[in-house]
Amino acid sequence: MSGGDLSSAREQNRRSWNAAVGAHDSHRGDLSGFLRKGGLTLFPEERELLGDLRGETVAHLQCNSGGDSLSLVSLGAEVTGVDISDEALASARRLSEEAGIPARFERADVHGWLEGGARAGRRFDAVFSSYGVVCWLPDLGAWADGLAGVLRPGGRFVLVDFHPASEVFDERWRPVRDYPRGGEGVALEEGVGDYVGGSRGGLTPAGFVPGREDFENTEPARLYRWGLGEVVTALAGAGLRITALTEYPYSNGERHFAGMRELPGRRMVPPEGVPALPLMYGVRAEARR
């Protein structure tokens, strides 16, 4: 893909996200009240990989509407949230204000932000990104180099994302696609959907509100299909040391498939009769000291 195609795909993705944020937020209940009272939107998997954040600087990449960014602040970090969507960041700033939890939010393309941050000498103790993030990255090598560039010596990058193995299946568990590979670009004509509404409470720890029920996105999007080995190899290739790689046979919050059963902690597992397979993975990678 040429540079011009890449930037137009990114701009299209920005429009698709801008269109979807209002529908997502319409389901979130009193999220600011929940956060104000000390509630956390983070799941145990990312907390365990991140470790103690007290007094640390954290860059939260692809932060969306900022619930997790503010939760990181509640755990003692000083947080900079980054996202390409204007609407997501407007929502994040509003949430920060209403919850009384301060964080800094910067609207940017993640690749450009990482490259600019590394060049400007910005350094963080930790960088975090989660749940539906790698699929928006056209260039894993540049992403991983950028991560290594903004981590202080000994700093860590933590990623929790949906497992590419689950992309082989359609909603009814039928194997319909090859395992992702090479960042193959895929047009999503229906754009970013209302996965928050579709989770029916899985992604709304402050309580589920039916909210917008008829959402249709008129802005298509473009996704990139990467395998797990490619993600980990890109991080290692950037000089980061992989200190954890965990595959989980459940998906936190989201119901990607038909008949998902909900276990305590908003953990979604396949219906009876579908064999266990990895639905999420987590990686921790450390910068050299």
Contact 139, 111 (CB under 8 A): yes
3-state helix, strand, coil in the chain (%, to 5): 35, 25, 40
Q: Is 226 among the residues that bind ligand SAM (CB under 6 A)?
A: no
Between 88 and 206, name the residue whose CB sits nearer to ligand SAM: 88
Min dist. Cβ of residue 167 to ligand SAM (A): 14
| Half-sphere CA count of 147, side-chain side, radius 13 A | 33
Between 84 and 103, name the residue whose CB sits nearer to ligand SAM: 84
- Which parts of 132-151 interact with ligand SAM (CB under 6 A)? 132-133, 136
Residue nearest to ligand SAM (CB): 132
Q: Is 10 among the residues that bind ligand SAM (CB under 6 A)?
A: yes
Min dist. Cβ of residue 142 to ligand SAM (A): 11
Measured distance CA(84)–CA(63) in Å, rounded = 9
Rg of the chain, C-alpha, whole Å: 18
Measured distance CA(126)–CA(155) in Å, rounded = 5
Measured distance CA(273)–CA(255) in Å, rounded = 17
Between 109 and 194, name the residue whose CB sits nearer to ligand SAM: 109
CA angle 164–167–170, rounded 5-degree value: 165
Min dist. Cβ of residue 42 to ligand SAM (A): 9
Phi, psi dihedrals of residue 18, rounded to the nearest 5°:
-55, -40
- Which parts of 37-76 interact with ligand SAM (CB under 6 A)? 62, 64, 67-68
Decide: helix, strand or coil at residue 23: helix
Between 62 and 217, name the residue whose CB sits nearer to ligand SAM: 62
The residue type found at 108 is: A
Binding mask 11-40 for ligand SAM (x = CB under 6 A): --x---x-----------------------
Between 188 and 274, name the residue whose CB sits nearer to ligand SAM: 188
Min dist. Cβ of residue 275 to ligand SAM (A): 27
- Number of chain positions touching ligand SAM (CB under 6 A): 18
Min dist. Cβ of residue 62 to ligand SAM (A): 3
Measured distance CA(222)–CA(261) in Å, rounded = 30
Min dist. Cβ of residue 180 to ligand SAM (A): 16
Structure tokens at 87: 């609407």
Min dist. Cβ of residue 283 to ligand SAM (A): 15
- Cα distances (Å, whole numbers) of residue 284 to 117, 159, 178: 21, 7, 27
Decide: helix, strand or coil at residue 36: helix
Those residues with Cβ within 8 angstroms of residue 259's Cβ, 6 or more apart along the chain or in another chain: 270, 271, 274
- Which parts of 74-133 interact with ligand SAM (CB under 6 A)? 83-85, 88, 109-110, 130-133
Between 84 and 238, name the residue whose CB sits nearer to ligand SAM: 84
Residues that bind ligand SAM (CB under 6 A): 10, 13, 17, 62, 64, 67-68, 83-85, 88, 109-110, 130-133, 136
